[in-house]
Amino acid sequence: MAALTLVTFDGGDVNIARGTLFDCPAEFLTNSQIEFYSSCEPGWSRCPIGYQVYVAFDALGRKVAVPGIYVRSEKAPRRKFPNYALHFEKNAVQNFLEPHLVVSDTIRNQRNIEFRNLTHDLRAISTEIYHTAVSAREHPVAQRDRDLQEQIESIMAAQQMMSVRLDIVDYEVGHALHRPPERIPVFRKVEKVYKCFWNKMAHRKIKHRLSGNSFGFTVGPPILEIVPFVIIENAIKYAPQGSELVIAFEELDKEIYVYFESLGPRIRGRERSRIFEQTFRGRPPAHRSGVGRGSDFMLLRKSWGISFAAAY
């Protein structure tokens, strides 16, 4: 609740909190007015019907607007509303909004605490999945049945990838920035990711093989798996049924090389310069589903290579 009307923009959502003491007329909350407020830069602006609007960002990054302000030091608005002749000083409006922005910071801190608790719970569940799979793998039946053995291997690999994803969240929010770097067995990490996609590749009838080997280590944060995960996931997503995914290892000159090769749609020229931009996506797969559209769609043999400095 607030004394003045507040309009909050949170992504694509708009929330209007009517003022409990000074509620602005409905004319200030029409679709065109709301669109105007959403386009305003932080600070003071004059809306199309002549009144001032004050805009600021709260601690959660949401835009908050106080509409329908008749500022004493400014000329009178050209449109008058019955029983709405309240005058405000700019600093009074800014002081009014300030505590609302600070409250949002408290909400953000509470969300962070809840998120850490959720992460802890997910880790506990993940550990149970892993130990259950280990127990099943050691069961005599699993040892006699190769198909079941591969299923269990895939479950274990997928579970470990869930832990990696949680680790990445820790790094993104700063909880793990001070962890010391670790010695990482590159081949074992890539092999683990490869195994977690066995079922998906079987479902799409994609042949696959892992060739070469490496006994080398590299040094860094324990989230290396995300690199091959993104490459393999995209390769499977765009590869046609019946094609093949090949992963190959090679060690040369104190470097560990990993190569990925698959069949998939060509990357358009204007997309190539942006493929490493965060959040950028090319045309959706549905737009690439038709074979035989000339230059608009073409299946090409694509290769990706990544290298890691070997640590001895």
> Could you report how far apart the first and last alpha carbons of the chain are, in Å?
62
Enumerate residues 6+ apart whose C-beta is below 8 A from 67: 5, 7, 24, 28, 29, 33, 37, 47, 51, 53
Residue 166 pLDDT level (bands cut at 50, 70, 90): confident
Question: What is the b/e burial string over 274-304, where b = at least 16 CB atoms within 10 angstroms of the residue's CB?
Answer: eeeeeeeebeeeeebeeeeeeeeeeeeebeb
Range name among 155-164, 227-236, 249-258 with the lowest pLDDT average:
155-164
Q: Which residue has the higher pLDDT, 90 or 174?
A: 90
Cα-based distances in Å from 267 to 234, 236, 276, 281: 13, 16, 13, 11
pLDDT at residue 187 in the model: 94
Tens digits of per-residue pLDDT, 134-144? 777 776 665 55
Task: Return d(Cα 178, Cα 249) in angstroms, integer.
Answer: 31
Query: Does residue 103 register a pLDDT over 70?
Result: no
Instruction: List the structure tokens of 264.
Output: 């998939």
The average pLDDT across 293-297 equals 40
Residue 115 pLDDT level (bands cut at 50, 70, 90): confident
The average pLDDT across 117-128 equals 71
The average pLDDT across 175-196 equals 86
Strands 63-71 and 87-88, bridge-based pairing: parallel
From the list 219, 214, 216, 215, the residue with the least C-alpha distance to 183 is 219
Enumerate residues 6+ apart whose C-beta is below 8 A from 158: 196
Residue 186 pLDDT level (bands cut at 50, 70, 90): very high
Backbone angles phi, psi at 61, to 5 degrees: 85, 10
Task: Return d(Cα 111, Cα 104) in angstroms, integer.
Answer: 10
